[in-house]
Amino acid sequence: MGCSMKVSLFITCLSDAIYPRVGEAMVRLLARYGVMVEFPSVQTCCGQPAFNSGYWKEARVTARTIIESFEDCDFVISPSGSCTGMIHHYPKLFEEDPVMHEKALKLQSKSYEFSQFLVNVLGVTDVGATFAHKVTYHPSCHGSRLLGVKEEPLALINHVKGLEFVPLPFAEDCCGFGGTFAVKMPEISGAMVTEKSDHVKETEAEVLVGLDMACLLNIAGNLRYRNEPVRVMHLAELLYEGVKQA
């Protein structure tokens, strides 16, 4: 066992600034399996707001910070399917720059969303957690559709003791976040998130869990606006809380 595996954390700007508790839960959970992540502090944002709005020159500036942050590690893990998905766009973003293009492909091949890494790399589906609550799950679009992360979170949820899982009706429907979409088209986005919260309410779940804080910021914000007492958590938070309780 000569070589040591270097696993780096891509925290994402949203979890860094607003939801440090998600990053902390994720890091603590991984440490239980002997994975001590590195945190390259030069990282900032994946650049998705600029990329999706069509400002690719600006997106390249921030994408470069991410590519440089993770050049010398073996695995990059992040608490967001969407930001990991953005890394999958980097090769296209740098298609006219052969050096950066190659680096982008390298980064893409070693980037994992949190549940993907836990299940497919570490081989863990039962973290030994207990969480005696009624829980529903919203599969975020980019994670589930573009990265294909579908089975992993469900496998993790199904192994939590005491947890009562209620499937979310129309779970695959977008919550209406869409980054700048929510700001540019607030009424359409508002209609979408309202419908999503309606479905969450229908399940009568105490907890809504997901894999992307942007979507959860949106849904939680709407539930709170409507005074619905649903607790909204990232899966890493739920698992870590459950491990502490076990």
Partner 1 sequence: MSGGGHGHSNGATVKERADIALNNDFLRKAVKFTTERLKGGKLKATDEHGNWEEWRERGKQIRLHTVAHLDYYLNQFVDNARANGVHVHFADTAEEAVHISLSIAERKKAKTVVKSKSMVTEELHLNHALESIGVDPIETDLGEYIIQLAGETPSHIIIPAIHKNRYQIADLLSVDAGETLEPDTQVLAGYVRRKLRTKFLEADIGMTGCNFAIAETGSMVLFENEGNARMVTTVPKTQITLMGMERIIPSWADLEVMATLLPRSATGQKLTVYMSGITGPRRSEDADGPDEMHIIIVDNGRSLQLGDPEFQELLNCIRCGACLNACPVYRHIGGHAYGGTYSGPIGAVLKPSLQKNVAEWDDIANASSLCGACYEACPVKIPLHDMLIYLRRRKIEQGHGDKVEAAGMKGFAAIMSKSGRFKTVLKLGKLGQKLVARNGEIRIKVGPLKGWNSYRVTPSLPKKSFRDGWGTLEAELRHGLQEIAPEARARMEQIVKDRAKGGGHGHGHG
| 235 counts as binding partner 1 under rule CB under 8 A | no
Return the range that interacts with partner 1 (CB under 8 A); candidates 121-129, 154-162, 204-212, 236-244: 121-129
Q: Which is nearer to partner 1, 73 or 157 (CB)?
A: 73
Among the listed residues 130, 217, 228, 231, the single contact to partner 1 using CB under 8 A = 217
Backbone angles phi, psi at 18, to 5 degrees: -105, -35
**Is residue 138 within 8 Å of residue 219, measured between CB atoms?**
yes
Residue with tokens 């508002």: 190
Instruction: Please count the other Cβ atoms lying within 10 Å of the Cβ belonging to residue 23.
Output: 22
Backbone angles phi, psi at 204, to 5 degrees: 55, 25
Q: Which of residues 9-28 bind partner 1 (CB under 8 A)?
A: 11, 13, 15-18, 20-21, 23-24, 27-28
The C-alpha angle 203, 143, 136, rounded to 5 degrees, equals 15
| 122 counts as binding partner 1 under rule CB under 8 A | yes
Q: Which is nearer to partner 1, 21 or 133 (CB)?
A: 21
| 51 counts as binding partner 1 under rule CB under 8 A | yes
Specify the pairing of strand 7-9 against strand 75-78: parallel
| 200 counts as binding partner 1 under rule CB under 8 A | no
DSSP per residue over 79-102, as a string? S-HHHHHHHHHHHHHTTT-HHHHH
Among the listed residues 77, 78, 83, 112, the single contact to partner 1 using CB under 8 A = 112
- Pattern 125-144, partner 1, x by CB under 8 A: ----------------xx--
Among the listed residues 71, 72, 105, 167, the single contact to partner 1 using CB under 8 A = 105
Please give the Cα distance from 124 to 108 (Å, whole number). Answer: 22
Among the listed residues 110, 133, 199, 231, the single contact to partner 1 using CB under 8 A = 110
Q: Which two tokens stand for residue 217?
A: 């910021």
Among the listed residues 77, 85, 205, 243, the single contact to partner 1 using CB under 8 A = 85
Q: Which is nearer to partner 1, 157 or 192 (CB)?
A: 192
Residue 226: which residues within 8 A CB-CB, separation 6 or more? 197
| 174 counts as binding partner 1 under rule CB under 8 A | yes
